Amino acid sequence: MDVLSYYLETYEACRKAFLSYKKQLKSKFARFNYECLEIPKDGGELDIYCLGEKKKPAKRLVIMSSGIHGVEGFAGSAFQRRWIEEFLLDEKGTYKLPKNSDFLILHGINAHGFKNFLRVNERNVDLNRNFALKREKLHKKFKNKKYRKIQSFLNPGSEFGNFLFEYIFFVIRFLGVVIRFGAKYVLDAAVNGQYEFPKGIYYGGRKPEPVVRVLRKYFKKVLKPYDRILILDFHTGYGEKNGLSLMHNAESGSKTDKNLNKVFGDFGLLLNEGEEDFYRTSGDFTDFFGKILTKEKDLFPITVELGTFGNLNVMGAIRGSFLMISENRIRFHGSKSEIEADKVREEFKQMFYPNREDWRLAAMDHVFGIVPEAITRFSKL
């Protein structure tokens, strides 16, 4: 099958294609369960496959998740469906599927963002900044003082105007902020997550979102039998053009850090706090498992990030920041011209789901050059 055919253009098409494998998976695997989790408060539906070679749960589990950042779910869905079709179902393939590992595949965690080409959910919450919250009120440690200092730059309170004029003015302001505070300061302020400005970018919410509460309950029940869990969370946008980054938040030298190096270390792609291009997030989905599961379990949580247009250099960082801020600004404050607003929306979409054939082919090559081997390694530990 042509790998480009896995990339679809609407949420509905992705979901329909994902659900089309139900009968085949059920007939092939001794253990198969499909669940559709209804997420309260307009959170949509979350489709999950859980399957294994034996009727009883294995000791190892591989989790594949997509769509936490809605619009990024298009690529994540394509990777998941290729994995199902060519690795789980293809009897003639050369890949030997580990018989000692079960699979849990979560499709479209942020259905609202997926449907509407947004990173955030229906309340402007970046779900990958929300998975740390346990209480109804915001804890002091989640205050982002850096964000607060430059929030007027990050969250303009006026209508969007002409695209070209806005971009030129943004570049001037961006360079001014970087000269004053430093590039690393601005990066940390923005992407680490903030919990005080509900209309701002990277807003993590003030309490656990419904999908977080639903998944906390679901995971505590479903993950009980497993001793070792590999988490592959698919994302797009950050990194070198057409590149791949493997990111994690584990402390250097910790049990989880050592686990990840056993599986991914020699790929030369692991990014953590010691790396120049790394940025730490609070409320990350992959960290969630360490918070809700017992310490006895061996965890291997990784964010698989596919770079799109390249935002590690100055011009890429400016363009990415401009689109993030402008898209958010238009949603909350409007635009003087719908044509200009559509330009922002289209470029924003391309930042996370490019229609370029070179990117789509490179993304597939990167993911399937690493994931099958990583799963095999995990199964042998």
85-122 burial code (b ≥16 CB/10 A, e <16): bbbbbeeeeeeebbeebbbbbbbbbbbbbbbbbbbbbb
The residue-averaged pLDDT of 77-98 equals: 95
- Average pLDDT score over residue span 16-38: 98
Least reliable range by pLDDT among 100-114, 187-201, 262-276: 262-276
Average pLDDT over residues 21-40: 97
pLDDT at 74 over 70: yes
Residue 298 in this model has a pLDDT that exceeds 80:
yes
Given pLDDT bands bounded at 50, 70 and 90, which one contains residue 250?
Answer: confident
State yes or no: pLDDT of 111 exceeds 60: yes
Q: Does the pLDDT at position 206 exceed 90?
A: no
Indicate the DSSP class of residue 217: H
What is the pLDDT, as a whole number, of residue 381? 93
The mean pLDDT value for 58-81 works out to 98
Q: What is the side-by-side strand order in the sheet with 228-237?
A: 31-39, 44-52, 101-107, 60-65, 228-237, 298-307, 244-247, 270-271
Give the number of other CB atoms < 10 A from CB of residue 168: 11
Q: Of 98, 73, 76, give the one whose Cα is nearest residue 87.
A: 98
**Averaged confidence pLDDT in the chain:** 92
Question: What region, left, alpha or beta, does residue 35 occupy, with left being phi > 0 and alpha being psi -120 to 50 degrees?
Answer: beta
Statement: residue 280 has pLDDT above 80: no
Residue type, 116: N
What is the token pair recorded at 258? 């050592």
- Over residues 250-278, mean pLDDT: 76
Domain boundaries, the chain: 3-134+204-308+353-380, 143-192+312-352
Q: Residue 270: pLDDT band by 50, 70, 90 thresholds?
A: low
Q: What's residue 273's pLDDT? A: 47
Q: How many CB atoms are located within 10 Å of the residue 138 CB?
A: 15
Residue 239 has, within 13 A of its CA and on its CB side, a CA count of: 22
Q: Cα 127–119–312 angle (5° rounding)?
A: 105
Q: Answer whether CATH 3.40.630.10 is correct for domain 3-134+204-308+353-380.
A: yes
pLDDT at 308: 97
Q: What confidence score (pLDDT) does residue 134 get?
A: 63
Task: List pLDDT tens digits, range 349-362.
Answer: 999 999 999 999 99
With a cut of 80, say whether residue 272 has pLDDT above it.
no
Determine the pLDDT at residue 294.
81
Terminal CA-to-CA distance of the chain, rounded, Å? 32
- Predicted confidence at residue 169, as pLDDT, reads 97
Cβ burial of 152 (10 Å; 0-12, 13-18, 19+) is exposed
Contacts of 217-221 with CB under 8 Å at 24 or more apart are 218/35, 218/37, 218/48, 219/288, 219/289, 219/292, 219/293, 220/292, 220/293
Q: What is residue 142's predicted lDDT score, i.e. its pLDDT? A: 65
Nearest to 26 by CA among 1, 55, 6: 55
Structure-token match 């090559």, residue found = 365
- pLDDT score of 269: 63
Over pLDDT 70: what percentage of the chain?
94
